[in-house]
Amino acid sequence: METATNGNATQVKKTFFDEDGELSFYVKNASQGDVMISDLGINIPLLGVMDLRERFDVEVLKKSPGLREAMSPRANWLKRIQREEYEKLLVLQAKREGRILEQKRKVKQVDEAKALATNEGKIKEVKVNLRPKIESMVQKYRLFVKGEDQTVGQEDMLTFVQTIDLTNDEKSYILGVITDPQIREAVNKQTTEEVASR
């Protein structure tokens, strides 16, 4: 940075040269959206910063009509900044991108959970070969869980599962719709005993 004294006031004149005396091209997006410079094939996002010297030679940058227009006082889409400001803004940009990625990850998790819930609903609706007695007991238990019916409670369902021989389809059905750990354990115990007896 150069300083010039004009009477009592000291004016600070910004210079855009790096430590080697080369012209620097640190820019920040000052527009209301992304800035695309087609002849260079670059896109600088809203609030983004970029060191154009990392990608292009100074002569290429000086000759670029797109860059010249973007940095013109009329357009004022890109502003040239000094290295210190560039480094500060780069850190802020990285934090902002990290937050955006975190938000996208959370949205993806919510979407996956919704899809899983939808798929579980579809799985529950699949008809399998069930004896009417078993289907009736499971439906009554599901109404009990929802608080809509008191005919078949948790103990009744557990006793029922422990005393009846279930087919593989019936076991899969019960495990697909009932989340009670004791009932699920009783169904799985039947499967384990069946395998052990073979």
**Sequence-separated (6 or more) residues with CB below 8 Å from residue 108:** none
Listing DSSP states for 130-158 in one string gives --HHHHHHHHHHHHHHHTS--SS-HHHHH
Question: For residue 153, what are its two tokens?
Answer: 């409670």
CA-wise closest residue to 15 among 76, 84, 78, 62: 84
Instruction: Write phi, then psi, for 149 (nearest 5 degrees).
Output: -150, 145
The pLDDT value recorded for residue 176 is 84
Largest pairwise CA distance in the chain: 104
The pLDDT value recorded for residue 178 is 86
| Contact (Cβ atoms closer than 8 angstroms) between residue 31 and residue 43 | no
Q: Give residue-wise pLDDT tens across range 102-115.
A: 787 777 877 777 77
Instruction: Compute how many other C-beta atoms are within 10 angstroms of the C-beta atom of residue 148.
Output: 9
| Contact (Cβ atoms closer than 8 angstroms) between residue 154 and residue 144 | yes
Q: How far apart are CA 68 and CA 64, in angstroms?
A: 6
The pLDDT value recorded for residue 164 is 87
Q: Give residue-wise pLDDT tens across range 156-170.
A: 888 988 888 888 888
Burial class for 92, CB neighbours closer than 10 Å (0-12, 13-18, 19+): exposed
Kindly state the helix (H) or strand (E) to which residue 97 belongs, with its residue range: helix 83-125
The pLDDT value recorded for residue 61 is 86
Inter-residue long-range contacts of 94-102, CB under 8 Å, 24+ positions, other chains counted:
96/47
The pLDDT value recorded for residue 11 is 42
The pLDDT value recorded for residue 18 is 59
Q: Could you list the mean pLDDT of each consecutive 10-residue stretch along the chain, which spans 198 residues?
A: 41 52 78 88 86 85 88 85 84 80 78 68 56 86 82 87 87 86 87 59
Helix, strand, coil % in the chain, rounded to nearest 5:
55, 15, 30
Q: How far apart are CA 20 and CA 197, in angstroms?
A: 83
